[in-house]
Amino acid sequence: MFEYFKKTRRVARAGREIVSLLVGPLSFARGSSGALDPKIAKDEFILAYIFGGICACLKPFDVADDEEKAMLVRYVYKEIFHDVRLAEVCSMKAVQRDPAFIEVMDTAYNEIEACFSTRGEKIPKSMLDHVSANY
């Protein structure tokens, strides 16, 4: 039981960091009420980018086992979209190796990994460019 609480705490800490990194570019997709544009939850690029960003954060945050990984994916999608089902949809696309999804995931992985390995700006550039152009 103690081990589960350690996992939960580690996942929450990692999840907060990931969400804070990814919500910046999403601010351009917020309406006057402050809510995200509902279309963004169906945007394949955004969903795949977030999944790739999560994958890039597994090692820096010491998220190792499958249970923790699943908890982290659910945490991030729930925090950003208030919908844990998106985590399951994205996990399925990754497992099925959907080519377009994997391509965006790879881009996100590389950009987010670079954010953690440098002391400079921590901006997910492709996500920012996509949101700026489409919302």
For 54-68, the pLDDT digits (tens) are 999 998 888 888 999
- How far apart, in whole angstroms, are the C-alpha atoms of residue 33 and residue 2? 41
Q: What is the pLDDT of residue 3?
A: 80
pTM above 0.85, yes or no: yes
DSSP lists the bridge partners of residue 36 as 30
Model pLDDT, residue 44: 97
**Spatial distance between the Cα atoms of 36 and 28, rounded to a whole number of angstroms:** 9
What is the pLDDT averaged over residues 16-36? 90
pLDDT of residue 120: 61
Provide the Cα torsion 64, 5, 70, 76; round to 10°.
Answer: -110
The 10s digit of each residue's pLDDT in 113-123 is 888 777 666 78
* Domain segments of the chain as ranges: 2-134
Distance CA 124, CA 108 (A): 7
